[in-house]
Amino acid sequence: MHYLIMNYALRIMNLKLTCLLESMETKITGAVALIRSMLTEGVDTIFGYPGGAIMPVFDALYDFDGQMNHILTRHEQGASHAAQGYARVSGKVGVCLVTSGPGATNVVTAIGDAMIDSTPLVVITGQVGAHLLGTDAFQEIDVVGITQPITKWSYQIRKGEDIAWAVARAFYIARSGRPGPVVLDIAKNAQLESIEYNYKPCTFIRSYIPNQEIDQNQITFAANMINQAKKPFALVGQGVVLAEAEEELKAFLQKADIPAAWTLLGASAMPTEFELNKGFLGMHGNLAPNLKTNECDVLIAIGMRFDDRVTGDLSRYAKQAKIVHLDIDFSEIGKNVKVDAPVLGTAKLTLPALTECIVATKHTEWIDTFKEHEVREHEVVIQKEVFPSTGEITMGEVVHKVSEATQNKAVLVTDVGQNQMIAARYFNFTQTRSMVTSGGLGTMGFGIPAAMGAKMGAPERTVCLFCGDGGFQMTIQELGTIMQEQIGVKMIILNNHFLGMVRQWQEMFFEERYSFTEMQNPDFIAIAKAYRIDGTEVHKREELDAAIADMLKDDKPYLLVVNVEKKGMVFPMIPTGAAVTDIMLGV
């Protein structure tokens, strides 16, 4: 009897031990839960920089080699801009992983940039342990407080059991509706805690309605307005690209024969050679679309937000026109411009619904009126900028030659300034998701890391980065990332030894008082060589074609420095505070 009791007790102990071991096997750390959750969300590439408060996650990454590609940048700002570039060309959510304190504050610029440019981004920051919060511990900073105004959602995770839930919610918010950045601030103890892991993708959040149901009454009202138009004109923004509605856009425009122009971020939503594409809107846009904005009778805004760089003086903007506005974000409709026919919803659905209701027609006479302005701009501005026969090399001819050499198939990435506007004007596009630039925030230093991310997001495509000599030096350390990862970015510096756009304003509006804009630059090619990146510097026009061909001969990283005219100008130009009809072709 005693033997049977002992045997039974032993079996119970063994059963309990087995259950304990099985329980331990099903538990993982919060750091591992974070990585598994990201893998479930389809993340294959992240950009980051390690540090103490995020160390458990980087340690866990060690065991996921081959499942997730981590790109070690040389600065957290580089990591976050690279994640933006990756998101813009791939259509996926960009992911950035950094530590607390200065690591977190170094990504704030990119978060703000992503918010205003509607880029889906998940930024993960480390944080001190929950028991230290509020004590001014080493590298503690209020990440949520700092980022809440410039994110779709900013959340602090203090317990490991909340990680999977928060990640699912973060990716859903970042990619749905109007995309944007989300921040997850993860306390160190949450990364270390042993938890039971159960991941459930998020598909619904109460009170968050990313996609509105299409209102047929809105569609019908807008369609009637378009059907009555004699001079309709469409303005195309990035919302078309984000909605993957490029084909729907073309079908809409072609059915009603509507000429269209694009915003800076809407570049590549239509192929350059599309018959109804009338060019670039805004401050440095084309002459015809800016003038025609104030001549059309119905203005159809599609996935754009009437930014001040597009509208100029609002009191003199399209006052003669009825306004139809298609947008996914209710807060944008009527915010800057009074709208007569709002159409709320994703362009992927609203454009086909509208196309079905509009009448097929032709507006040949109206479209022909664009031609005289196109000819004038070509004679006064484009011929001299893109096809000069004498004088110094111009920025426009460099951009045009590079675009032609890639058969207009490359991804264009720009920094900010004259290089950005010239590139937008003279680079041509044959496919969508081919423009990566900092639009709303205008972030100098965006170019190099964004180009890295773009190449990682579309490795099969040629990525051409245009920078000024000023912006290039703001994130020049990322040449180290390019070297280590052998990221085949083609970098072109338009070197005029000035902060070019500021100098242009000083020349035009500040009596040529060039206050702190002239730059003494280093030997960029020598710096590239130190990073084991090939390159060449061009001083003469006759050297340019061969240099471009050499740059594009393979898929390796390359730096091309082109010394352009020091006081080159970007025209046309609408001065700040002027109307779109006050556009200048020169000084």
Cite the active site residues.
Answer: 76, 138-139, 188, 501
What secondary structure does DSSP assign to 94-108, as a single string? EEEEE-STHHHHTTH
CA–CA distance, 307 with 310 (Å, rounded to integer): 5
CA–CA distance, 118 with 178 (Å, rounded to integer): 6
CA–CA distance, 205 with 14 (Å, rounded to integer): 45
Question: In terms of DSSP H, where are the helices of 271-334?
Answer: 287-293, 308-311
- The SS3 call for residue 534 is strand
CB count in 10 Å sphere of residue 86: 32
Backbone angles phi, psi at 52, to 5 degrees: -55, -45
Residue 155 Ramachandran class (φ > 0 left, ψ -120 to 50 alpha, else beta)? beta
- The SS3 call for residue 141 is coil
Identify the helix (H) or strand (E) that includes residue 301: strand 298-302
CA–CA distance, 115 with 119 (Å, rounded to integer): 6
- The SS3 call for residue 157 is strand
Tokens of 315: 């009191």
The sheet with strand 558-563 has its strands ordered as: 435-436, 411-414, 463-468, 489-495, 558-563, 534-538
Residue 62 is classified by DSSP as: G
CA–CA distance, 34 with 190 (Å, rounded to integer): 10
Residue 532 Ramachandran class (φ > 0 left, ψ -120 to 50 alpha, else beta)? left
Cα torsion 57, 61, 62, 67 to 10°: value is: 170
CA–CA distance, 244 with 514 (Å, rounded to integer): 44
Tokens of 2: 């005693």
CA–CA distance, 541 with 85 (Å, rounded to integer): 31
CA–CA distance, 153 with 166 (Å, rounded to integer): 10
Residue 337 is classified by DSSP as: S
- The SS3 call for residue 112 is helix
The sheet with strand 277-280 has its strands ordered as: 277-280, 260-262, 232-236, 298-302, 322-327, 341-344
CA–CA distance, 260 with 278 (Å, rounded to integer): 6
Quote the longest CA-to-CA distance of the chain.
Answer: 111
What secondary structure does DSSP assign to 490-556, as a single string? EEEEEE-SB-HHHHHHHHHHSTT---S-B-----HHHHHHHTT-EEEEE-SGGGHHHHHHHHTSSSS
- The SS3 call for residue 329 is coil
**Is the separation of the CB atoms in 109 and 443 below 8 Å?**
yes
Length of the chain (residues): 587
Q: 192-217 in b/e burial notation, b at 16+ Cβ within 10 A?
A: ebebebeeeebeeeeeeebebebeee
